[in-house]
Amino acid sequence: MKHKKRIARELSWFFGGIAGGNVIFMFLYRLLNVSFDLGVLAAGAIVTLLAMYVVRLTLWVFKKGM
């Protein structure tokens, strides 16, 4: 049961990160007057996920070090 909750939490982080990242990037693209298509949305999702997991990994390392 513990693993199911952890998998569900990670999946919610993953899909929430994609959705939130695309919303933020769509706002920034409109602000900068950039036309967006599928490639640009995919790049926004990848950059958001990468940034989110780098921050989570950094926090995890500091937590383990203390």
pTM over 0.85: no
Cα–Cα distance, 45 to 36 (Å, whole number): 13
- State the helix-helix crossing angle for 2-31 and 38-65, rounded to 10 degrees: 130
Residue 6, domain extent: 2-65
What does the pLDDT profile of the chain (66 residues) look like in tens digits? Answer: 678 888 888 888 888 888 888 888 888 888 888 887 888 788 878 888 888 888 888 988 888 877
Report in angstroms the alpha-carbon separations of 3 from 8, 10, 19, 24. 8, 10, 24, 31
Residue 21: exposed, middle, or buried by beta-carbon count in 10 A (0-12, 13-18, 19+)?
buried
Number of domains in the chain: 1
